[in-house]
Amino acid sequence: MKATEKQIKDFLASNEVQFVIPVYQRNYDWSVGQCRRLLDDILEAGKNQKRNAHFMGSIVYIHDDVYTTSSVKDLTIIDGQQRITTLTLIYLVLHRLAKELCDEGLADKILETFLINKFAAEEEKLKLRPTENNDKALKCLLRYEEHEISPAYSKLIGNFNFFKKKITKDNYQVVLQGLSKLMFVEISLDRTYDDPQRIFESLNSTGLDLSQADLIRNYILMGLRRADQNKIYRNYWEVIEQSAKDETLNIPKVSDFIRDFLTLENNKIPNKGDVYTEFKDKYPIMAVDELKTYLEKIKGFAKHYNKLLNPKKEIDKDIQLQLEYISRLEISVSFPFLMQVYDDYDRSIIDKRTFIRILGLIQSYTWRRFVLGLPTSTLNKVFMTLYEKVDLSNYLYSIQKSLLLKQGTQRFPANSEVIDALKFKDVYNIKPKSRDYFLDRLENFENTAEYVIVVDNPNITIEHIFPQIPNLKWKIELGNEEFTFIKENYLHTIGNLTLSGNNGKLGNKSFTEKRDLPEVGYRASRLHLNQYIATLKKWNRKEIEKRFEWIAARFLKIWEYPDIKVESDEFEKGEVNIFDVDDPTNKRLEYAIFFDEKIEETQITKFYVEIIKRLFVLQPGTFFSTELGQRIGLSTDEEKHHLREAAPISETYFIETNCSSLVKFTKIKQALTFFELQDELTIKFAD
């Protein structure tokens, strides 16, 4: 590796070179704001006569000309693409301006010094060789044909137009002067002696804003010969990038996809910042043929992931509808499991009916838990290992049984407890996507005549039958006591909510007015949720409760509880949230999981000290600003002689450990409550 301080204009003016942006680099993505800041720096440097240099970071490249017989040297840029590309745009603008000013000498000098290799073959003519879409845009700019390309296709077009407006005949000399003062550190690598990937990782750790997917792409492609790079990128990685994208929001999800894929492969959820590291551990540097085998599998799962993210890409309408429901529930934690199930369906291991029933089962499990308010943080651990329990000979049953065997905060809520919770649950003020999902499914269940589009339908809104701001007639008809009870207990519950295409016209009118209003009242409605209401003579507590019973029966048909028998001695004795465990007296731990990290400590005393120590490191102030320090007996070094069996949690502070296992668990739960981390610690007792 050689590092040299150099003027940027001398670097760009290098004779017979081509600055190659490899396919594994992320796209050119500088915004107009970033271009403006660079131009401001250049103008400031050009105006400041006392300033001889302006430093602009480093550019790192690999000598890749060893793979070619051409006289043009390839310098593969691994850090500096954004700056080199942007400076090329500035020189393009200066070249065009010089032509407009009839300064042919300056125009030719800029063209032949900074933009092209004059005597090179056509494919090596341009000094900058960006990735495909940007390469096309750059060539169009040189031919004055930028109108043929949308700025959305390549940011080169929009940024070029910005510089074209800002660099004029009044300031171009200042720009040229400023460019001549730009300095950088040139870092030259040689594959024979240097490890480009290791150096790239080091650059990333010092501030390059790269995603885990960027690092993985570079890891896969950087060590390959260019011909192999292009083939692997186009046949595999580009497909993965295109598949792992939320197409509605146009947001890349490659890092999330790889994390979910590794979760499925390893039965362990990588931390978001460790996906690249775990990918390297799983797939060490390998031969091209071996790499293709691994990437073929990853690409296949990416296609399933694409349909989970974008249900409309599934051509089967029945499956598509269930995927839409999954999407509205926003349970992406189920994706590692569902990708494998999707793959089994794709390979005809299961049929369509089984696949749809599994999608319905996942909805039932997660939606029932939502109604009860059970923590969602436990779901990632459930779905992380759920496929392990699949019996291919009895596919659906094995999944149903596995979910029914969950206990505590991971449990599958039974019919009675979910209906009891639903009766008084405020479902109006939950997240709109969840609310729409709920009402959509209630409305359209077994609706074979006409599917009603509820989501994103401006003509369908949620209607409070007993209004949020009722008029005086409601109080008169109901009486003060019942009026108050409904308002305080049932206002936002499902028993009092329906759908309407005429919410504004119904408003806070009395019930009979809402029911009978011509063309817009409940009797005129074709919505299934309004058919029962249309038959009623009044709306009071009794009718709300009767309607809830009708909805509850419908609920249990839609979000079914698996109709299988599970014996009590079969229930899992595995990982349990610490708030759900039995008395730990005379028991030993096998392990615990805290913040998704495994703690392999069998002694409860050592486990207790370890958890308190980690919480103290996380946020020591909580121990002093609340009663927590006093409850666990936190003492300083000087005070520790008052403790029975003091154990250090830092260099300065100690806690008492001479207490029963039950008391230790109680103190851990108190500490987690103060930190609001009740869902982050699960334990498994040794058999």
Partners of residue 74 on adjacent β-strands: 18
3-state class (DSSP) for residue 440: helix
Cβ atoms of residues 127 and 17 within 8 Å: yes
**Tokens in use for 489?**
């207990």
Q: How confident is the model at residue 570 (pLDDT cuts 50, 70, 90)?
A: low
Amino acid at site 319: I
Cβ atoms of residues 157 and 151 within 8 Å: yes
Q: Does residue 72 or residue 1 have the better pLDDT?
A: 72
pLDDT of 482 reads 94
pLDDT in tens, 261-305: 999 999 888 888 899 999 999 998 778 888 999 999 999 999 999
| Residues sharing a CB contact under 8 Å with residue 346, sequence separation 6 or more, in sequence order | 300, 304
DSSP assignment of 464-504, as one string? ESS-SS--HHHHHHH-HHHHHHHHHHTTTSGGGEEEES-HH
**CB-based burial label for 669 (10 Å; 0-12, 13-18, 19+):** middle
pLDDT in tens, 216-225: 988 888 878 8
Rounded to whole angstroms, the Cα distance separating 471 from 468 reads 10
Determine how many CB atoms are found less than 10 A away from the CB of residue 194.
Answer: 16
**Tokens in use for 465?**
């039958």
Cβ atoms of residues 64 and 74 within 8 Å: yes
Rounded to whole angstroms, the Cα distance separating 375 from 206 reads 37
How open is the CA angle 467-468-469, to the nearest 5 degrees? 90
> How far is residue 517 CA from its own chain's centroid?
47
Q: How confident is the model at residue 172 (pLDDT cuts 50, 70, 90)?
A: very high
Helix or strand (DSSP H, E) at 569: none
pLDDT in tens, 106-124: 999 999 999 988 888 777 8
Whose CA is closest to 112, among 95, 98, 90, 100?
95
Whose CA is closest to 382, among 679, 670, 588, 671?
679
The model's pTM is 0.73
**Tokens in use for 547?**
């309607």
Mean pLDDT of the chain: 88
Section 16-43 average pLDDT: 88
Q: Does residue 267 or residue 53 have the better pLDDT?
A: 267
Cβ atoms of residues 244 and 305 within 8 Å: yes
pLDDT exceeding 90 applies to what percent of the chain? 47
Query: What is the spatial order of strands in the sheet that 128-129 belongs to?
Result: 2-7, 182-189, 54-63, 73-79, 17-20, 128-129
pLDDT of 510 reads 87
Cβ atoms of residues 138 and 156 within 8 Å: yes
How far apart, in Å, do the first and last CA atoms of the chain sit?
Answer: 56
R_g of the chain computed on alpha carbons: 33
Across 86-95, 181-190, 359-368, 615-624, least confident range = 181-190
pLDDT exceeding 70 applies to what percent of the chain? 93
**Tokens in use for 348?**
């005809």
Across 49-53, 65-69, 637-641, least confident range = 65-69
Helix or strand (DSSP H, E) at 589: strand 589-594
- Is the pLDDT at 571 greater than 60? The verdict is no
Tokens 């002696």, residue located: 193
Tokens 């949620």, residue located: 462
Section 85-92 average pLDDT: 95
pLDDT of 207 reads 43
**Tokens in use for 336?**
């590692």
> How far is residue 408 CA from its own chain's centroid?
27
**Tokens in use for 199?**
């150096």
pLDDT in tens, 453-489: 776 777 788 899 999 999 888 999 999 999 999 999 9
- Is the pLDDT at 206 greater than 50? The verdict is no
pLDDT in tens, 133-147: 888 899 999 988 888
- Is the pLDDT at 327 greater than 80? The verdict is yes
Is residue 660 left, alpha or beta, with left meaning phi > 0 and alpha meaning psi from -120 to 50?
beta
- Is the pLDDT at 580 greater than 60? The verdict is yes
HSE-up (13 A, CA, CB side) for residue 176: 17
